[in-house]
Amino acid sequence: MKGKFFSKLKDYNYILDQLLEKKCFRQDVKNLLLSMVYKVETSYSDYTKIKRNNLSKSDFIENIIIKPIRENCNYIYLVNPKDEERKILEKQNVIAMTNEAEKTIYAYPTEMALLYGLSDIRPKYFFIGSKYNYIKNLMQEMLVEGTNLNNTEVIRNFNGWSWNVEIDQKINNTYNCMYQTLLLLFGHAFLDLWENDFSGKKDYILEIRKRMEEGYSKSISDNFYYSFCNVLIVNAKKSEKEKAKKEVTKLIKEYENIKDKDKYMLKVAEEKKKLARQIRKIEKISEDRKLLLEEYNLRNSKLPDDKKIFSVSELSDMLLKEKENYEKMILKLTELLAPTIYEENKKNIEDKIEVLKPALDEEASLYKYLILMQKNFLKCVSKEVEAAETKEDFINLIYTIRYYRNIHLTSDKMIKEIPELNNILNKIACKLVTIMCKKSIFTIFCKDIAMNYKIILQALNSSIVDIDDIDICLKIDKETSKLQIEIYDNETIESSFEIDYQLDKKDLNVRQKKHVPLVNF
């Protein structure tokens, strides 16, 4: 097995070496790229264990590293953090910048910065149709940055032998959190398809909402979508917020006109009558030569010399086009009154208002909307637990919850450190763990359900990559009424804890001082 691993590693190095010979990169850049591939290689198996939905290692190296170097990058400039050039990166608060037209990357001299640059310089489409113009730019910006942060995670949080989620002030935690939420809901294949689809034919936002409605419910789908977009609005730059504010103000007025169907129908009917009168007037003028000449003189008297109508014949053509336009307007108004069109139009306006309404709140808190988005996401996780059937389903959910707990919601707080989210997550996790114990997937360490969950939670909170490698050793301290919990990565102790234990030793379901595997094989 060891030989096979190094064989693959050598192959990737060889492919990259051959490619770099054709590139005019400096030697320090080449060395850093080779080091980057090595780090990805050594960390990727742990990465895919902790995070279940990813590209295969070979696909990652080919598509995120090799292909961009071959097709999209001709020059890489390493920016010394002590030199003046660093201000270019500092101004944007990024570790790398790219120029796609010039096929150039500017990056700090680190493996992670180079990987970010290679990810960023790749073409990314994330097509969003014009019907979503009110949110399009913000959504695409989040998807592009989220993709780059996701692609650098294998180096950022994994070092080849452990899982280590560190605070990094240069990470856009809001975009990363949003992207990871989408990834957990819809999987890598869906987001990869969206990223690379340049056909402009598929409505991916509609697809997201449909999938959530089918999998969870319409109300969960709507609430998640609104809260997700609300975060984008609150997080937007001032200029984007101003555009959103104008748009939502206009939509609210539009909605006031349409919400009462009876009044709306009367207004539309009156508008149709006005248009019909205009059509009859045109017909009357067109059929009477005298009236046509009067109309010709009247219009020309109001026009400057360079805009005057050339002849009566030209006016006849103009009147015919005006009539056709009025007829089209009447047809459109008639369609608007059709029950399905009316309801669809009304729903579209309501949708946009729900998405944009935070723009009207000058005191809107990004933190508050992030919390709301995650609460809506956790409803989906709860539904997934209810629907799980196979051992694989349950194991995947445990890994999902482990990973999710360690996502940074803000620069200084992980989701597990936010009480109102962690409390919900603990209820879901407790239910999941209890089911897994009943199905003999997990060992039952204590007959008391709440205490059993507390014990297993300590193990799941560890940084041990593979839960199959987790052993738990328990010991009751009678003098202090504490339960000592030792977490082992195979034979190596990873951490130890003490928790209050008011139960009797007979309530333990395993022998004290014995290493007991968490997972039953």
Is position 105 within any domain?
A: yes
Is position 176 within any domain?
A: no
Q: Structure tokens of 431?
A: 């239910």
Same domain, 322 and 426: no
Q: Number of folded domains in the chain?
A: 3
Is position 442 within any domain?
A: yes
Task: Tell which of 347, 376, 403 closes a domain.
Answer: 347
Query: Going by C-beta distance under 8 Å and a sequence separation of 6 or more, which residues neighbour residue 145?
Result: 172, 175, 176, 179
Are the C-beta atoms of residues 123 and 6 closer than 8 Å to each other? no
Which residues in the chain land under pLDDT 50?
Answer: 1-9
Distances (CA, A) of 465 to 43, 47, 68, 233, 490: 11, 8, 30, 36, 11
Same domain, 424 and 512: yes
Same domain, 292 and 393: no
Q: What is the pLDDT, as a whole number, of residue 161?
A: 61
Task: Tell which of 347, 378, 403 closes a domain.
Answer: 347
Same domain, 336 and 394: no
Are the C-beta atoms of residues 96 and 116 closer than 8 Å to each other? yes
- Tell me whether residue 462 is exposed, middle or buried, using C-beta atoms within 10 angstroms of its C-beta: 0 to 12, 13 to 18, 19 or more: middle
**How many Å apart are CA 113 and CA 97, to the nearest integer?**
9
Q: What is the pLDDT, as a whole number, of residue 296?
A: 86
Buried b (16+ CB within 10 A) or exposed e, 346-364: beebebbbbbbbbbeeeeb
Q: What is the pLDDT, as a whole number, of residue 210?
A: 97
**How many Å apart are CA 218 and CA 53, to the nearest integer?**
25
Same domain, 511 and 392: yes
Same domain, 405 and 334: no
Is position 216 within any domain?
A: no
Q: What phi, psi does 127 have (nearest 5°)?
A: -60, 130
Same domain, 9 and 119: yes
Q: Which domain holds residue 471?
A: 388-517
Task: Tell which of 294, 324, 347 closes a domain.
Answer: 347
pLDDT tens per residue across span 150-166: 999 999 988 766 677 77
Q: Which residues pair with 517 in a beta bridge?
A: 471
Q: What phi, psi does 288 have (nearest 5°)?
A: -120, 115
Query: Going by C-beta distance under 8 Å and a sequence separation of 6 or more, which residues neighbour residue 5?
Result: none
Is position 311 within any domain?
A: yes
Q: Which residues pair with 488 in a beta bridge?
A: 471, 493
Same domain, 1 and 119: yes
Q: What phi, psi does 216 have (nearest 5°)?
A: -125, -65
Q: What is the pLDDT, as a whole number, of residue 160?
A: 61
DSSP string, 193-232: HHHH--S----HHHHHHHHHHHHT-HHHHHHHHHHHHHHH
Is position 65 within any domain?
A: yes
Same domain, 504 and 393: yes
Q: What is the pLDDT, as a whole number, of residue 344?
A: 86
Dihedral sign (CA 283, 289, 291, 292):
positive
Same domain, 66 and 116: yes
Query: Could you tell me how many residues make up the chain?
Result: 521
Is position 217 within any domain?
A: no
DSSP string, 154-165: HHHSB-SS-B--
Same domain, 280 and 396: no
Same domain, 505 and 435: yes
Q: What is the pLDDT, as a whole number, of residue 169?
A: 67
Are the C-beta atoms of residues 110 and 138 closer than 8 Å to each other? no
Q: What is the pLDDT, as a whole number, of residue 211?
A: 97
> What's this model's pTM, rounded to 2 decimal places?
0.86
Is position 255 within any domain?
A: no
Q: Is 103 left (phi over 0), alpha (psi -120 to 50) or beta?
A: left
Q: What is the pLDDT, as a whole number, of residue 302?
A: 87
Q: Which residues pair with 471 in a beta bridge?
A: 488, 517
**How many Å apart are CA 44 and CA 38, to the nearest integer?**
10
Say which residue the tokens 């001032």 belong to: 238
